[in-house]
Amino acid sequence: MLWFRRLCAIAVLVSISPLSGGPASANDGTAVIGIGGIRIVRDYDIRMASEDLYVSPDKISVDYVFVNQSDTDAERLVAFPLPELSGEEFYDAGVALPSTDMVNFVDFTVTIDGRPVAYETEIRAFSPAGLDITARLNADGIPLNPLADAAFAALRALPAEKRREYITLGLAEWDEGYDFAHPLWRIRVVFYWRQVFPAKTPLSVSHTYRPIASTGFFVLPEQTGAIEDPYCMDPPFRNAARKMMQRSGRDYLEERSVTYVLTTASSWHGTIGSFRLTVAKPDPSWIVSLCAPGIRKTGPTTFEWSARDYIPEKDLKVLFVRQLPRE
C-alpha cells in the first residue's frame, strides 16, 4: 500500500499562489543543472503574460502564455520539480500516489503550442541525514521511490547482512514478525527540458498532472482547539460543515485537500499579467474552503478568482469536505 501525508504538486513551470494580490513572484521557472541537481534561476527577459490554473482533487491543469521581451530568441532549461517524497515522513499518512509509475507518479504531461514535449527526468535519493544514496540503491537493485510497492518487496528480499547495513545507515527498518520493510529515505524528482522562447512572440505552455490529495476525517478547528486555519474557513462554510455533521450523526466529515506550492524563487520577469484560478469540487455534495477573498461561484461545482498584474505570495491550499453516510 502506498501511503502518504498531505503533499502537493509543486510546479516550477506552473505557478500561482493563493490569493493575495501584490507584487509578483511567479513560480514557473527556468533552471540550470548544477551540483545537487536542478536549480531555478531568475530570468529578466521572459514574462508570464497569462496563467489559467484549474484545481480539483483529481486533476490540476495550467495554461500559460509566455513572452520573450528581448530582441533575440532565448533558449532556457525549464524545470518541473515534484514535491519531495519521504518514506520516513509519509509512511503512516492516508494518501495514495495517483499513479503506479515509480517516477512519474503524478502522470505529468506538457505541451508547447499544442504539441507534446519530450522531457527528461532527474531522480535522486537521500538518507535521513542528507547523504546522496542514489548509487547505493541502484547497485542493490532497490527502486528509488520509497513509497512504491516494489521498493518494499526489494527490501524484504535483501540478505541479512545487507539489512543490517541499511539499518545502521538509517535507510530502512524491518518488522520481522510481519516480514515488513519500511523505507526511510527520501527522493527528489525533477522533470526538465530545453525550450526556445522566440523573440517578441507569445509561447503557449500547458501541462496537467494528478495532484497528491490527502484523504481523511475533517473536524472544525474549534472542535480541537486548533488556532491555525490554512483554508480561511468562513462562517457559511463552518455552518454548512456543522449541518453535515448533524445530518450524518457524526462529529467529523470526509476530507480531501490539495496544496499547490508556489513559494519557489521568482523566476520570470515582472508580474503575471492576467491570472485566473478555477476550483472544481467532485460533485455538488462537497463544500470547499480556500483563502481566496472574493472568489465567486460559477456553476454547481466550480468557483473562479482572477486578478491582473498578479503577485503570488503564499501556497494555495484547497479543502474539499462532504458528509459521511449516516451510521
pLDDT at position 43: 77
Q: What pLDDT does residue 9 have?
A: 29
Q: How far is CA 173 from CA 133, 160, 218, 327, in A?
A: 16, 12, 31, 39
Position 33 scores a pLDDT of 54
> Does domain 30-133+185-322 sit in CATH 2.60.40.3680?
yes
- Average pLDDT of the residues in 260-265: 54
C-alpha–C-alpha distance, residues 65 and 112, integer Å: 10
Q: What is the pLDDT of residues 3-29, one digit of tens each?
A: 222 223 223 332 222 333 332 222 445
How confident is the model over 138-193, as pLDDT tens digits?
999 999 999 888 898 999 999 999 999 999 999 999 887 667 888 999 998 888 99
Task: Output the pLDDT for position 18.
Answer: 32
Q: What residues does each domain of the chain span?
A: 30-133+185-322
What average pLDDT score do residues 263-277 get?
74
- Which residue blocks in the chain are alpha helix, DSSP H? 87-90, 134-139, 149-156, 160-168, 221-224, 235-248
C-alpha cell at 20: 493575495
Mean pLDDT over the full length of the chain: 82
pLDDT value of position 314:
77
CA angle 230, 40, 257 (to 5 degrees): 25
Cell numbers representing residue 45 in the block: 527577459
Q: Across residues 90-104, what is the average pLDDT? A: 72
Q: How far apart are the two ends of the chain, measured CA to CA in Å?
A: 27
How confident is the model at residue 31, as a pLDDT?
Answer: 55
Cell numbers standing for residue 122: 532527474
DSSP string, 232-279: ---HHHHHHHHHHHHHHTSS-EEEEEEEE---S---SSS-EEEEEEEE
The residues, ordered by sequence, that sit 6+ positions from 262 with a Cβ below 8 Å of its Cβ are 15, 16, 17, 18, 25, 27, 312, 314, 315, 316
